[in-house]
Amino acid sequence: MPRPITLLFGVHAHQPVGNFASVIDDALDRCYRPFLRTLHRFPDFRFSVHFSGWLLGELCSRFPQDRALVAEMVGRGQVELLGGGDTEPVLAAIPARDRLNQLQTMNARIGRHFGGTPQGAWLAERAWEATVVPALADSGIRYTVLDDYHFLCTGLEARVLDSHYTTEEDGRAIDVFPISEALRYRIPFSLPEDAVAHLEHLAQEGRAAAIYFDDIEKFGIWPETWDWVYGKGWLERFIQGVLASPLIGTATYSEFRASRATRGLIYLPTVSYVEMNEWTLPPGAAAHYDRLVRQEKEAGSYASSKPHLRGGFWRNFLSRYPEANWMHKRMLELSERLSALPEPGALRELLHRAQANDAYWHGLFGGLYLPHLRRAVWRSLIELEEALDAKLPRPPIERRDVDLDGHDEIMLHNAHLAAALRLDGGASIHELDSYALRHNFCDTVTRRREFHHRKFHEAPRAAPGSGIASAHDRVGFRHAISAADLIADATARTSLADCWDTEGEPMRHVSDYALDAAAAPLHALEFSCALAGGRVRKRIALEGRRLEIHWRLEGLPRGRLVTRLNLSMTSCDGYSGRYILEDGSIPCGFGQSLAQASCSVLTLDDLELGGALDLTASPAAQLAAEPYHTVSLSEAGFEKIMQAACLTLAWEAAAGAAEARLSIELRSSPGDNIAREQED
C-alpha cells in the first residue's frame, strides 16, 4: 500500500475595497456561507483559507454568525487562516515600509478576531518579486503559496513540485509552496470522483503532497458553479471521497511544513500566473505571445515550452495605463509624506486603502475599467492629502514630473480644490479634486485598443447575457455592443482640451500651449499659444470652490473655440444623475445625450455623490453632452461601462479679439441643490 498523500487544500476569498455591499451580500449567500457551512460539517477535513483584510472586516462586523463559525473551526484546529497585505495590495508595487505595515495590520486583524499570528501569507495575484521576502519574514510570515508555473520557470520538473522550498533575499528566508495547476483546473470542475481518483493516482506515484490553493469564488460565484458545487453536491461528495480514501490525508499548510524538511533552496523569477503575464502586454506584443502559445499547443509541445513563454509581469500595467500609473505615483508621494509624521494614526488606513490592487490593472478580473473601484482609491487619496496638508502644509503651486512620463506636471491646490495639469502642450486638466466631496472629477480612462477585443470580432453574435462556458475564454455580452464602441480615442480623455474650428477646414487641436510662469498669480496658471496667425491665451485658476477658465483670442480669423470636459460622475444615469438647466428643468440624465444651442448655466446634479457641479459660460456656449463608455472583458463577458459625462462647449468668435469664460463651481451641500430646493 503506497503512503497516503497529503492534500493541502486552500481557498482565497477577496472583495475589492469599495465594492458594493450588495455584491458582498450576494457572494456570502452564494459562495462563502455555503462553503464554510459545508466544511464545518466535516471537522476531519483540514484546510487553509485566506480572507483579504477588508473582506474579513466586513465579515466580522456585518456577519457575526459567520465569523463565529470560522472561529469555531480555527479553535478545533480544522482551519488555518493566512495573512497577507491587509487591503490586498501587490506588495512588490508599494514601498518597503508599507509592505511591512500592510502585513502587520493583517496579522493584527486576524489576532483580534481569531487569536494567534498567521504563519502563511497570500500574495495578491500571485505577483512575485524577490524584494517582498524581507517584509514577509520581518512580519513573522514563514511561508507563502505561488503557482507551480513560478517554479517551472526555474527549470524544475513537475514531479518534484510536491512540497515546499526555501528562498531568501537580503539575508531573510521564507518557504514557498507550488500550487498545482492541474488541481486548479480539476477542482471543482471535474467530477468529484475523478478529482479524488487523481489524488489517489498521485499517491501511487509517491508524491508527498497535492497542493491546491485557488479563488473560493469558483465554488458558487463563477457562472453555473453554484448549482454544480452545492445543488448537485460536488463539494460534499468531494470531501466525503477524500475522507474515505486510505490514500489521502488532509492537513493545513503549517502542519505539513512543520512535519517535513524543505526540499532546498530556490530563487524564483519575477512573474505572476500565466494569464496575467498575457494581460500585462500591450496589444501587439500580446498578439505575438498568443501566436507563439497557439503554435506550441498545435505542435504538442506547450507543456514543456510554457515556462519559457513568460509574457510580461504585473508592473507592466503601470506603463500601459497612464491612469493607473498616475494613481500609483500619487499614492507613492502621499506615502512618502505620511512617513514624515511621527504618529500616522488612522491616516495609515487611508493609505492602505489607496494601495488595494484591483483598480490598478485590467484583465479578466482586474478593475481599472470599473469606476467605483477607482473612486475608492481616489476617495482615500484625496482624504489623505487633505489631512496631510493640515499637518504638513505644501505650496499652492508645485512643478515636477510626478508620473515619470517625461513631462512636468503642475499641481495646483487651495483649501477646497486640487488640480493637476501635464505640461505637454495641451493645457488640460487630468485631475480635479473636491476635498469636501472626496472625489476626482477627472477620474476616467481613455478608450484604447485591447488585445481581448479580438474575441468580440471572432465570437458569434450572441445575445446579452449569453456566453461560452470556459473559464478564461468566456465570450459573453452583458450589454449590446457594436464595433463602434471599440474604436480607440485619438487623444487622452482629459478636461479642458481645446480645439479651433474654422469653417471649411479640419478642426485642429490646440496642442502647443506654453506656460507663462512669470504671469501666474497665486492659485492660477497662464498659458499662451500661437494659432492660425494669431494667439490664444488661457488662464486656469482656483477661486475658492470654483475652477475658473478664461480664454482670450487675439488676431484669429472667424471661427469657433471648442473645449471638452470629461467629467466623472458617481451616478451615470436616471434620476440620481441628471442635468438641470438654468430655468430649473431637467432634460435628461447623464446617460442620455443633451444638446443646447445656447447655454449659460448648467448643473450636473448627482444624488449618489451628494453634490453638484455648476457650469457658467460667458458668453453663452453651444453645448453638446453625451455619455462616454468603454468596453472591457470580465469573467461574466464583455461589459459596456459608462465612465464619464462628456461635455463639449463651443463659442463663436468673430475675427480679431474675443474672450470666453467658463466657471465650474463644485458644491457639496445638499441644501444648495436647485432641484432639491424645488422638491422641498
pLDDT at 352: 98
Out of 215, 383, 389, 652, which one is annotated catalytic? 215
Domain with CATH 3.20.110.20 in the chain: 5-272
Instruction: Report how far residue 493's alpha carbon sits from residue 405's, in angstroms, rounded to the nearest whole number.
Output: 17
- pLDDT tier, 519 (very low <50, low <70, confident <90, very high otherwise): low
Residues 5/202, Cβ–Cβ less than 8 Å:
yes
At 287, the amino acid letter reads A
Q: Which tops the pLDDT comparison, 78 or 224? A: 78
Q: What is the pLDDT of residues 30-39, one digit of tens each?
A: 999 999 999 9
Mean per-residue pLDDT for 408-434? 96
Note the CATH number of domain 456-679. Answer: 2.70.98.10
Phi, psi of 380 (to 5 degrees): -70, -40
Instruction: Report how far residue 255's alpha carbon sits from residue 419's, in angstroms, rounded to the nearest whole number.
Output: 53
User: Torsion-angle region of residue 228: left (phi > 0), alpha (psi -120 to 50) or beta?
Assistant: alpha
Give me Rg for the CA atoms of the chain: 28
- pLDDT tier, 658 (very low <50, low <70, confident <90, very high otherwise): confident
Mean per-residue pLDDT for 641-662? 90
Quote the cell numbers at residue 389.
Answer: 496638508
Q: What is the pLDDT of residues 245-280, one digit of tens each?
A: 999 999 999 999 999 999 999 999 999 999 999 999
Q: What is the pLDDT of residues 217-255, one digit of tens each?
A: 999 998 889 999 999 999 999 999 999 999 999 999 999
Let me know if 501 is a catalytic residue: no
Question: How far is the first Cα of the chain from the last one, in angstroms, to the nearest whole number?
Answer: 81
Domain with CATH 2.70.98.10 in the chain: 456-679
CB-side neighbour CA atoms (13 Å) of 76: 15
Q: Which tops the pLDDT comparison, 495 or 224? A: 495
Q: Which tops the pLDDT comparison, 675 or 508? A: 508
Residues 146/176, Cβ–Cβ less than 8 Å:
yes
Number of H helices and E strands in the chain, helices first, is 21, 27
Evaluate if residue 523 carries a pLDDT over 90.
no
Is the pTM for the entire model greater than 0.85? Answer: yes
Q: Which of 78-92, 223-237, 616-630, 646-660 has the lowest mean pLDDT?
A: 646-660
Instruction: Provide the 10 A C-beta neighbour count for residue 400.
Output: 10
Q: What is the DSSP letter of 653?
A: E
Mean per-residue pLDDT for 64-71? 95
Mean per-residue pLDDT for 125-134? 97
Phi, psi of 288 (to 5 degrees): -65, -45
pLDDT at 463: 45
Evaluate if residue 469 carries a pLDDT over 80.
no
Let me know if 323 is a catalytic residue: no
Out of 98, 125, 148, 548, which one is annotated catalytic? 125
Q: What is the pLDDT of residues 154-210, one digit of tens each?
A: 999 999 999 999 999 999 999 999 999 999 999 999 999 999 999 999 999 999 999
Instruction: Provide the 10 A C-beta neighbour count for residue 521.
Output: 10
- pLDDT tier, 522 (very low <50, low <70, confident <90, very high otherwise): confident
Instruction: Provide the 10 A C-beta neighbour count for residue 116.
Output: 11
Mean per-residue pLDDT for 433-442? 96
Kindly indicate whether the domain formed by 5-272 is annotated with CATH number 3.20.110.20.
yes
- pLDDT tier, 520 (very low <50, low <70, confident <90, very high otherwise): low
Instruction: Report how far residue 79's alpha carbon sits from residue 59's, in angstroms, rounded to the nearest whole number.
Output: 17
Residues 32/67, Cβ–Cβ less than 8 Å:
no
